[in-house]
Amino acid sequence: MISKSMQEAINDQINEELYSSYLYLAMAAHFDAENFSGFAHWMKVQADEERSHAMKFYSYIYDREGKVTFKAIPQPPSKFKSPLDIFKQVLEHEQKITKLINKLYELAIKEKDYPTEMMLHWFISEQVEEEKNDNEIINYLETLGDSPVSLMMLDRRLAERK
C-alpha cells in the first residue's frame, strides 16, 4: 500500500506530466501554424510521450492500492518565438520535471518505499534522455541559425521521429 504523502506527491506529478503534454501540444499548434510540420510532429510525439508518463504514474498508484486525484491543468502559453527559443523552453521545462522526479525519489528514500524507488529509476533514466534530445536540437538550431533552408532541413529530420 502506498503512503498518503507518496500518493499525493505522485498525483502532483501526474498533473505535471499532463501539463507537459498540454504545453507540447501548444508548441505543436504554433509550429503547425508556421508551416513547420516536422517540428509540429516532434512536439506531438513528445506530447503523447508525456501523457504516457502520466499514465505510468496513474497505473502505479492503483497498483499500490492508492487513489488518483486530478487537479486543474494550467493553460499553456499560446505565443512563441523562434524554434530555438521554443526548444530552450522545452529544455528548461524538462529540467524542472527532472527536479520534481528527483524530489519524488528523495521522498521514496525517506519513506523507505522501495517499490517506488524502483519504479522511479525508469523516470530518472527517461529524464536524462529527454534533456539529451533537447540539447541536441538546441545545438543544431544554434549551429544552423535562422537560415530558412537550414530550418527546412531540420524540419524534415524532426518529421522522422517515431
The pLDDT of residue 79 is 94
**Which CATH number does the domain housing residue 56 bear?**
1.20.1260.10
| Cβ burial, residue 56 (10 Å; 0-12/13-18/19+) | middle
pLDDT over 90 (residue 22)? yes
Residues 135-157: what's their mean pLDDT? 93
- Per-residue pLDDT of 51-71, as tens digits, reads 999 999 999 999 999 999 999
Query: Is residue 14 within 8 Å of residue 57, measured between CB atoms?
Result: yes
Measure the CA–CA gap between 67 and 79, rounded to whole angstroms.
Answer: 36
pLDDT over 90 (residue 146)? no
Query: What's the pTM?
Result: 0.95
Interhelix angle 83-110/114-144, nearest 10 degrees: 160
**What percent of the chain is modeled with pLDDT above 70?**
100
Q: What's the total number of domains in the chain?
A: 1
Type of residue at 73: I
The pLDDT of residue 14 is 98
The pLDDT of residue 85 is 97
Query: Is residue 64 within 8 Å of residue 123, measured between CB atoms?
Result: no
Residues 14-31: what's their mean pLDDT? 98
Residues 156-162: what's their mean pLDDT? 95
Write out the residue range of the structural domain in which residue 59 sits.
4-158
